[in-house]
Structure 1
Amino acid sequence: MNSIKIIVLLVLLFTNLFSKQEISVQLLWKHQFEFAGYYVAKELGFYAEKDLNVEIKEITPHITVNEEVRRGRATFGIGRTSLLLDIEKGDDFVLLASIFQYSPSILLTLKSSGIKTPQDLKGKRVMIASGSEYDAEFFTAFRHIGLDFLKDTKILQHSTDIYDLINNKTDAMYAYISNEPFYLRDIGIEYNILNPKNYGFDFYGDMLFTTQRVIDNDPNMVKDFKEATLRGYKWAFENIDQTVDLIYNKYNSQNKSKQALLYEAYELKKMAYYETDEVGVITKTKLKRMVDLYYENNLLKNPLNLDNIVFEYNQQELYLTKEEKEYLQKKQVLKVHNELNYKPFSFYTSGKPSGYSIDLMDLIAKKLDIQVEYISGPSWSEFLDKLKNNTIDVMLNITPTSQRLKHFNFTIPYKKYNYIIYSNSHSKISSLDDLKGKNIALVKDFAIYEYIKQNYPEININEEDNMYEVIRSVGFGKSDATITTEPIAQNVIVENSIYNVVPTGSLILSNEEISQVNLSIATNKENIILNNILQKALQSLSYDELFGLDQKWFVRYQTNDEKLSFSSNEISYLQDKQVINMCIDPDWMPYESIKNSKHIGLTKDFMDIFEAKIGIPIKLIPTNDWDESMTFAKERKCDIFSLAMPTEERLKYMNFTTSYISSPLVIATKNDKLFVADINDVINSEKIGIVKGYAFEEIYKKRYPNNKLVSVNNIKEGLDLVAKGELYGFIDSLITIGYQIKTNYISELKIAGKFDDSWELGIGVRNDDLTLHNIFQKVVLSLDEGVKQNIISKWISVVYEERVDYTNLFRVIAITFVIIVILAYRQYILSRYNKTLQIANQNINEAYLELRYLIDTTMEAIFIVQNGKCIDCNYSAIKLLGFENKENILNKDILDFISTSSLESVLDKLTQSKVEPYEIKLISKTQEEIPVLIKCQNFKSNNKEIRIVAAFDLREIKEQNQKLQVAYLEISKKQEELHILNQILESRVKEEVEANLLKDKILQHQARLAQMGELISIIAHQWRQPLACIATCAIGIRLKLDLKKYDFSSQEGRDDFVQYLYSQIDDMEKYTQNLTQTIDDFKDFYKPKQKYNLININEVVLKALDIIEVSITKSGTKIIKELNSIEPIRMHQNEMMQVVLNILKNSYDNFKEKNISNSVIKITSNDKMNGVELIISDNGLGIEEENISKVFDPYYTTKNDQKGTGLGLYIAKAIVQEHHNGTIRAENTQDGISFIIFLNKS
C-alpha cells in the first residue's frame, strides 16, 4: 500500500512539474479549412510535442478577435490589416506570421442587384465584420477609384449568414473568395465579386498575432506555437484529402460538404504559397507598403516602427517582465552554493570558486546584471538545508527528485549524463543486482544516494563527504563500487592516479525521475519569480558561450574534436534548434532498443558522444516497431535516425551520413540446415524472413523479383518462425543475429552463411534539412576510431561473455573443414553464374534505359499516379510544370497540379479507369494556368492500381488562335479614340471583321474533314506570317497615335492620317485575302474541285515571296532570284505557292535552329524541253544522307524543338506529283540542300 501511495505521489508531482501549458487561439470565423493548420497541429500532436495544450475558439456574434486578445481572453488571434490602427492607438499587438500572402477577403453582390463595380456601392448597405472596413486593401483600393468606404456606404454588422444576402437584407456582404462563391454557385445563384486584388492591392490575410505582454512572459512558448502552427499548415496543404476528412468529421460547425472544403483548400493553397515557397512569410517590405497606404489615407497619424510590431525570435535575447526586472533591481546580490570538491562542475581552489557550473552562473549573472556571492564550505546536506531555509538563493548542479520537488523549483537541465558503475578493475560488478550484499560509496543526499537507500536496502551504503573520498573508498577496497557520471569520476581518477577504479557497467534506472543525471539550477519553492528569471537566462545563452565552457572544462574527455569545426551558419542553426528529435529501431539489440521508454544499446553510447559534440539535446521519439519509425520519418516527426542505411525509397525523404558502423549480412537457420554460400541459392526457392521496412528488404525485392521473402515485424518474430520451421532462414546483421542466438537460441539456431552484402549504417537525416545533415556528417567523420571500436567491443564482448556453449563451439569446428570444401566448389559455380547474371542484368538495364529514353523524349507530359500521388513522370512533364527536376513532383498529390477551375471535372472522372481526351488547366511552379488535353488509363502492377496520365500542352495552339483576336481587339479599342474618322473607315473595319468571321466558319467546316490533323498543321505553318503582319499593322496604327504623329487639329494632319490608315488597311486586307484564299485552296485540294490556269512559275515564286520575303531577309538571310523561265505551265497557282512557301519556311527555320551566319537562299527557274524546272537551294548544311530519303515521309521532321509536324513536304510531294503530274526530289549540295521541282507541259 505504501508503494502505491509513493507512485501516486510521484505521478502527481511530475505531472505538475511537466504539465502542458494552457493557451488559446481566437479564430476569425467559424470552423473551416481556412484554419486547418491549427486543427492539424492539435490533432497530430505538433502542439503536444512543444508541451502546449491549445484551445481553438470559434468566432461568435458580437465579439472581435482584437478585443479577445487585448483582454487576455485569448493568447493568440487571427487578425486583419486593421491591427495596424489598434497598434497606433496603443495596443501592444505583435505580428507573428501571415498565413495568406494576399487576402481572401472580397465583397459579394447578387447579379440581380446590378452592383458590378465599387462605385455601384454608393448609398448601399454593406454587411461586414467589425474592423474589416479598415482593412487596407478595402479602404485604399476602393478610395483610389472614387469610393470612400466609410462615408459612401451604410455598414451593417455581419451576421455570418449568407442568406441575408440572398434574401436582400443587405446589398453586399463581406466574404472569402474560398467559401461563399462556391456555396452560391452550388445552389444556382449568380453573383458578382468585388475583389481589391483586381485593383492591384494584394495585402496580407489572416495574420497571426499576440501581445508583447505574452512574448515578454514566455518568448519560447510563442516561438513554439508559431512553429507548430506553420508546420500544421504545411502538412494540411500537402495532405489536403486527409485534412478535409479531419475537418469534415470533427470541425464542421458550418456543415460544409467535402466538395466545398476541397474547393476552399485549393483556393487557399494558392494564396498561402503566392510568390513564396514557405507558409506564414511576413516581410517588412510588404508590411511597410500597407503602413504607408494607411498613412497616405489619413488612417494613421504617424508611420509605425516595423521593428516593434513584427516578432523576430532571438534565442539570445533575454525577455524579462516588469515584475522580474523589479525583483533583480531590489535583489542586487544572489547567494549561490559552491562545493569544495565536485570537479569539474563546482569546486574551490586558490581561494576562489571554480568549475563549469560556476562559469555558467557567472554568464547568467552577467546577462542579468546582478552580483553573485558564492558560499563555500558546507556539505551537500547542509547546502540543501540552507536552500530550504532561504539562507542561500541558488544551488547549482542538482538533479530533481520527488523529495526535492517538495521544497525546490528547478530549471531545465543544463547537462545530462548517464549513471555508470565504477568498481575495482578486477570486479565483475555491472548491475545493481551484482551490488546486493556489497558496499557502495556515495555522497550523502545525492540523488542516487536517495534512490539506492529507498529502493535497495540489500545494498550497504558507505556515506562520504565528496567525490574524492568516494573514489578513494573504491580504490582502496573500503567499498566495492560507486555510481556516478564519467566527467566527475574521470577527473578524480586522473588527478589522483587511482587507476584501479574503472567503469564496469552502464546503469539504466526504472525510476523516471533519476534515470539520468540532470544537472539543473534549483531555487526555493516559494521563490518562483527567481526560478523563472534563471530559466530564461539559461535559455538565452548562446551556442558559442556554452561551447566555450565545454572546451574549457570537458575538452580532455572529448574524442578527436580537433577534427570538428562548424561554420557560422551551422553554429547559428544549432543555437536556434534547441532539440533534435530522433527515431530508432525499438527492437534491434545490441545496436539499439527502447526499454522503459529509454534508448539503450550500442547507438546510445554513440548518441551520447554526438550530443556532447553538438551541444544540444537529442530527444528520443518512442515507436512500437521499425515500420512505425519509418512512418514517423516520412511524416517529419523525426529529425534523425540513429542508425540507417540508404535505399532508393528512403532517399525520397532522408539523406545519410557516412557509415560509422559496418556489419556483414548473414542468414540464420536451424542447426540441421546446410551452409548457405550465396543468397542466390535460397532466396528464390526458400521462405526467408526479414524485418519489414529494412533496407535489404527493398534492395533484395528489386534485385530478385521472384524472391520468397517474408516480412516480419521484428527480429524475435523472424527467428521464432525459423525455430518453428515455418521459415527456412532469417536475414540480418551478423552483430544482431549473433546477439540473439547467443541470448535466446543457443541450441536451436546457427549462422549458416555470410553474404557479399553488408550493412553500412550511418545517421539518417530528414532531407529537407541540409544544414543538419552537414552537421552530423562532420560529427561522424570526427569520431575517433579507437573510441568507436571500444564502444562496439563493449557491446559485442558483453554478448559473448554472457554465455559460452563449448558444445556448439566444437560442433562448428567439426564442420568447418566440410564447409571449406563446399565453399571452394561453390566459388567456381558462383563465378560462372555471376558472369551470366551480370550480362542478363546489363541487358535488362539497357532495355530499361531505352524505354526510359523513349518516354522522356515524347512531346506529351506523362504522369504515373498511385493512390493519388505522382510516383514518376517524364522530362516533358517536368518542363511543362516549370520545375528543375522530378523531385519537385514526386510524392505530391496529383490534384496539387490541377487548377481549381478544373478541379470539379477532374474529381468527376477520378474513379473512371479509362478517360477519353478532354481539356483542363494545370498549375505550374509559378502558379501559371496551363491549358492541356489529357487522357487517362489505369492498369495493375503487382496488384497495385496505377494510373497513367498523358497531357498535351495546348498553349502554343491557343496562342496562335489568339493572335488574330488580339489584332482585332487592338483595332476595336482604337475605334473609340478614332471617332472623328469618316464612315468609310467604319465600313472597312466592319468588312474586315465580317471577313474574319467568314474565315472562322470555314475553319469550323474544315474541322469536320477526315484529314483535320494535316490541314491544321499546314494552316498553322502558312498563317504565322500574315497574322504577324496584321498585328504589326494594328500596332503601327496604335504607335502612330500614341506618339501623336498626326495633327488632328488641322485638315492636312487628318488627311495624312486617313491616307496612312488606308494603306495599312489595304495591307491588312491583302493579308486577310491571302488567309481566306489559303482556306479555299486547301478545301479544293481535298474535294478536289480545283481551277487550273496557264501561269508562269515565276509568278508563283514572286507571290510566295510577297508573303515571306520580309521575315526571311530581316533575319539576315539573302535571297538570290534567277527566274529565267518564260513558258506558262498549266497549274493551280495557290497549291504551287504552298509548295514554294513550305520549302522557303523550312530553310528559314533551319538557319535559325543551326545559327547559320551569311545564310543564302537561291531560287532558279528554267524552261526545259518538256516542261519547267524550279530549284530552291540553301547553304544550311543539308541533311544527313541516311535521312534525306525520308524527308517526304509523313510525320518525319528534322527540327529538334519538336515544333515540326512532318507534314509540309509530304503534302508538297502530293501536290506536285498527284495534282500536277510532276516530280520533286531533295539533294544535298556542298554546303546545303536543293529541292528540284519539275512540271510537265502536258
Structure 2
Amino acid sequence: MKFIVIISLFFASILFADSSSLTEEEKQWIKNNEVRIGLSELYPLTYINKDTQMDGFVSDILKLIIKKYNINTKITKVKQAAIPLAIKENRIDIAPIINNEKIENTLGVYSSEILQIKRVLFVKKEDKSIKSFNDLKGKKIAVVNQLGTIPHIKKKYINIKVERTNNIKESVQKLLAGEVNALVASPIIIQEYLEENLIIDLKAMPLITFEPSKLYFFTSKDKTYLQSILEKGLNSISIKEEKELFDKWFLKDLANLPIIFTKEEINYLDKRTNIKLCVDPDWMPYEKIENHKHIGIVADYMKNFEKKIGVPLKLIETKDWTQALDFMKTRRCDVLSFVMDIESRRGYMNFTKPYVTAPLVLVTKRNVSFISDLKDLTNKRIGIQKNFAYNEIIRNKYPDLEIVDVEHLRAGLKKVERGEIFGQVTTHLNVAYAFQEEFYGSLQISGKFDERWQLSVGIRNDDPILLNIFEKVVNSISEETRQKIISKWVTVKYEKSIDYKLFWSIIGFLSFILLLILYTYLVQHRYIKKLKKAKEEIEVLNSTLEDKVQLRTRELELSNKKLKLKTSELENLNNNLDTKIKEEINNRKKQEQLLIQQSKLAEMGEMISMIAHQWRQPLSALSTIIQNIHLRHSLNKLDKEYLDKQRVLSNALTEKMSITIDDFRNFFKPNKEKHTFSIKDAIHQTIFLIDDSFKSHNIKIESEISDDITIYGFKNELSQVLLNILTNSKDAFLEKNIESPYIKIKTKHLQTHIKILISDNAGGINESIINKIFEPYFTTKDSYNGTGLGLYMSKMIIEQNMQGQLSAKNIQDGVQFSIYIPINLK
C-alpha cells in the first residue's frame, strides 16, 4: 500500500536569522543548567527506544543542537495531551508538539514551524461505502487525542461523529472490531504499527485528507536563553543534515525536502519578471508547442517548477529542435526544458541533474529479427534525429554504424517504412505515441538497448544563480509528482490493460531458473565440504604412507638379522606388505577421482555465469516480444495472426535456451568409454560454451585449425582441459586490466601426434612460479576464486588418461600452453 503524504520541512529564523553563534550569556546559561525534554511516543517523530534513549526524526534534530552546543539534558516521557500541564507545573522545559491549535502563548514560545504532515482517512479493505467526504455523514471516526486535533475536526466537520482514542493502537482496534467506520491518522505514524502487527486489512483513502498536523518546538516562557539557543540551533542545521534525517526516517515516496533558497537566490528571483524558456516544438509525448502553448510530460514538470520558483516561465517559440539549441547559444533563451548533457553543448549551457531517464529502442520493419546490441548493426543505415545528443554519442561509440540524420521522428519512421534506412533509434514512449497515430501495421520495436537518454534542464552558462535554483527544484521532485505526470500522459493513453497471463508466465519461468541455479549452488556447496574433508584425509595419507612403508621395511630387516625368520614367514610378511600397499594405492586412486569431481564442481560457478551470457540475447528478445504485444494490445491492434507469430518466435527462443542447458549438462557428463572424436569439434564446442562470456569482457578468441584430425579418446575431458586454460587467461586479463585482450588457438598435425597451442597476451607467468603451476593446490588466486586444482587435473587428463604431454612457457606479452596427444590413442 502506498500512502501519499505531503511533508514540507523548513528551518526559518524568527529572531536570529543571521547567526548561529551563542552569546557569552547563553554559553554561561548552558554551563549552569540542565534542559528537561518532554518526549511523546509518536514514532517515527519522537519516541524512547529500547536503550531508553530519545529517538526519531524530531529527536535527531534536537540531538544535533544538543551536540553542537554541548547541552546537558534529561528526558521525561510525557503524553501529548499532558504537555501543557507539564510545562505549567515546571516539570519540563521544552517539548516537540504536533497540533492544529497551539497551546496558549502564556505558557511559552513556539519555534519556527518544522514539519507538516498530511493526515488521511483509513477504512477496512472491504469497505466500498466511503469514497468521499460526503460519505462520512453520520459515520463514527476514531481520532487520537492530540493537542487541538479533535476540537478542530469537530468544528470543521460537524456531520462526523468523532470517537476519541488515546493512541493509534486503540484507533486501529476499534476499526477492526467495527466500533467505528474509519480512523484519521498520518501514514508515517500508523505505518510502523500496521507492519509490526502484520495488519493488512486496512486501506488508505488518499483523496480524503484533513488539515495537516504541524510540528513545533515549544519552550517554557521562563527559559528565554533556551528559546534563543534553540532557534539558533535550528538555523545552524545544514541542508545536507536535513536530507540525511529524511533518508533515515522517511520513505522517499512519503517525504520531500523543501526548497530552501539562499538570500542571493531570493533577491535574484525578486528582480526577474520572467524566465525565457525554449523547448522542443515537436517531440511527443514529452513535449510539443500546440496553439502557442507548451504541452506534454515536460510541460507538466515545467509548471511544477514554475510554481516552486514563483517566477513565470515565458515560452519562446521555435520552429524545430535545432533552432531551440541556436536560441540557447545566442542567449535568446535562459532555459532549455529537456536536454542531454554532452561535451559539444557545454560551451554555452550548464545542466541540472537528469530528471527523466528514457531507454533507447530500435524501430524496424516487422520482418526483422530481434537485436540486443547496437554492435550487431554494423554497416546498417540507422536513423537518428538531427542535433539530438545520441546522434553524436552513437556516432563516436559505434563508428561502424552508418548514421542518417532525420529532421523528425516521423520522417525517420517513414524512411524505415519505405526501406530507405534499416531502423530508427528513439525512445519507447516516442514510438508508442507515433504508433498510436500511424505505423502500427508496418513497423515494430526490434530491440531495447542498455544505452539510455539522461535528460536534464539546460541553463545558459553565464547564469550560475539560475542553475542553482533549477538544481534545487529538480531535486525537490517527489515520486508522487513523477507518477502523476507519467500516468497523465502514458498510463491513461497507452496502458489501458496488461496481459497478466503472459506476464506471470514469464515471471514463473524466470523464477524456476533462479531456483535451479540456487539448487545447483547448494549441491555444489555440500560436495565441496565433503571434498575438503577428503582432501584432508589424502594429505594425512600422503604424509603417513611413506613413513609406514619405511617403518615396515626396517622391521623386516631387523627381524631378518635378529630372529632369522623362516623363509615362509618372510614371504608371508612381504605378501601382507604388498597387500597393504595395494590397498593404500587403490584408496589414493579413489581420492584422486574425488579430486577430479571437485575440480568439475569448482568450474560450475563459471559455467553458470556462461549460461547467463548465453541466455542474455534470447531473454532480451522475449522482453521485446512482450513490449510489442503490450503495445499493440493497448492500441487495440492485437490480432490472432500477429499473436500466433509472436508465440512461434517465443517458442523458438525458449527452445534455444533449453538446448543451451542440454549443451552444458552434456559437457559435465563423465566419459565412461573412449570414442572417436574430432579435435576441431572439441575446440569449437569449448569456444561456443564460453564465447558470450568472453565477448562481454571484449576478449577475442582466434582459432587456426590446420587439419581436422580424428582421435580415439575422451572428448569431454579434452574440452575441460581447454576450458581450464582459457578461463585462466580470462582471469589474468581481468586481474591485470589488459587492453585489447586476445587468445589464439592453433593446431599442428605431426606424424604421430596432434599439437594444440594456446597463447594469450595477458603478460605471462612469473618465472619463479611457472614450474609450480601444475602442482596440486598451487594457485595465485585468493581462496574464494581458485582451488589450485584446474591445471593439476588438466595435466593428469592429458598425460595419464590420454598418454600425451601438457606444458607451458612464457612468450612475448603472454604465455603459451602446448598439448601433445597421440593420434592413435588406445
Question: Shorter-normalised TM-score: what interval?
Answer: 0.3 to 0.5
**Comparing both chains, which one has the higher relative contact order based on Cα–Cα distances under 8 Å and sequence gaps of 6 or more?**
2
Structure 1-normalised TM-score?
0.27
